[in-house]
Structure 1
């Protein structure tokens, strides 16, 4: 995934109340995402990604590095 447009049609995870969640929900791509899954913390989101429960996660830049 290189751009936000690559999220189209995917199941995407976010950490609840993170800047990533706020950004994705305000972006027009939200209408093209299959499903937005919300997780209590980034660890839960990462576990879901590893388990292939979601196709991608949106994380804050400080976490992604």
Structure 2
């Protein structure tokens, strides 16, 4: 009789740990993305200008598509 109770408690604790871990990881990622947003075209343009390059829209589109391809892998 006590064995099944122990098994049920272990399963419940495992499920609670998984759920709690999911929500903690989700909250962490939301705050991380808020502090460090992914690169967009405007950021890419600013980075190229800081490096001394004059960015054309074609070059920015090429770099954005290359970055999106890389993230897709």
The two structures have a TM-score, normalised by structure 2, of 0.28
Larger Rg: 2
Question: Whose strand proportion is higher, 1 or 2?
Answer: 1
Q: Specify which structure has the bigger relative contact order, considering alpha-carbon pairs within 8 angstroms and separated by 6 or more residues.
A: 1
